[in-house]
Amino acid sequence: MSANRRRVLVTRDESLDGPLSSALLRRGLQPVACSVLSHVASPEPEALVRAARSLEDYQWLIVASQRAVAALMVARGGRPLPPTLRTAAVGERTAGSLVAAGAALPLTAASAGSAALIAALARADRWPGRRVLVPRAAEGGREVVDALRQRGASVEEVVAYATVPRPRDEIVAAWEAARPDAAVVASPSAARALVRAIGAEPLHRLARVVAIGPTTAMQLEALGVLAVVPARADFDVVAELLNGALAQVVQR
C-alpha cells in the first residue's frame, strides 16, 4: 500500500472491501474509516414484517438504501419480490440489491438527489390510486413520499432500520487516526454526527468534502461546511470526482 496515496475519510459503516472503499482503492486513493453512525433494527418490526409479507398488494416499492432492501427481505422471510412489483431506487448499488432480491429493471434517476428521482417517477406512471411501499430509515427524508401523495398515490411508510450516532470520543479518535485529505459524507445524519463530534473547522481544512446527494450537502451547509455533490449517487462516480479533485491539489 503506497504511503503517497491521498487519504479519504469514509463515514459509512463499511470495511476496506466495502463498495465505497473499493471504488476509492481502484483509483489509487486510500480510504480511512471514521464510522459515525451505528445501525439498529427497526423500532416497529411487526409493521415491517406485515408490509414485507404483503408486497403482492402494492404496485410500487421505492427504496433509498441497500440496508433498507436487506431489512425488507429479512422481514419477508427470504421470498423474492413479486414479479409484477415495480421498483425504484436511489443509486445503482441500491438498484443492484433490488435486482438480487428479484426485481426487474428498477427505476433510477440520472442524477443524485430526491428531486431527480421524483421527476423520474412522475414520468414512469399515473399515480392516482397506486399503492406504494417505502421502507426507510427512521430519520430518512420524506420528499419522495410527499411528492407521490400529492400526485394521488397511496403511500405507506415503514421504518426498516434506525441510525444512532456513535459516542463522540469514538468519532474524535477515529478522525485523529484517519488524518484525511478529503472526506465523503453519506447522509444528513452522518453529517450531523461528524460535525457535532469534531466541529466544522477540521472539515474546512480538507481539500474536498463530498456529500452523497444534495440533501446531505444542504445539511452540511447548515452546519457551516461546504460540500460538492457528485452527478449520481454512485460510489464509482464519487471516487472519480475525488480522484480528479485531489490530483489538481497535488499539481498546484
Q: Which helix (H) or strand (E) holds 86?
A: strand 86-89
User: Tell me, what's the pLDDT at 71?
Assistant: 97
CA angle 192/194/200 to nearest 5° reads: 90
The whole-angstrom separation of Cα 96 and Cα 169 is 35
Name the packing angle between helices 188-198 and 214-222 (round to 10°).
Answer: 30
The whole-angstrom separation of Cα 223 and Cα 26 is 31
User: Tell me, what's the pLDDT at 110?
Assistant: 76
User: Tell me, what's the pLDDT at 3?
Assistant: 52
Q: Say if CB 103 and CB 89 are below 8 A apart.
A: no
The whole-angstrom separation of Cα 163 and Cα 65 is 13
Residue the block writes with cell 433494527? 41
Domains and CATH numbers, the chain: 7-36+166-251 (3.40.50.10090), 41-161 (3.40.50.10090)
User: Tell me, what's the pLDDT at 116?
Assistant: 87
User: Tell me, what's the pLDDT at 1?
Assistant: 41
In order along its 252 residues, the chain shows pLDDT tens digits of 445 789 999 998 888 888 899 999 999 999 999 999 999 999 999 999 999 999 999 999 999 889 999 999 999 998 999 999 999 998 888 899 999 999 999 999 877 778 889 999 999 999 999 999 999 999 888 899 999 999 999 999 999 999 999 999 999 999 999 999 999 999 899 999 999 999 999 999 999 999 988 889 999 999 999 999 998 878 899 999 999 999 876 554
Residue the block writes with cell 410500487? 60
Q: What are the distances in angstroms from CA 193 to CA 31, 34, 65, 167, 187?
A: 19, 11, 19, 9, 10
User: Tell me, what's the pLDDT at 111?
Assistant: 75
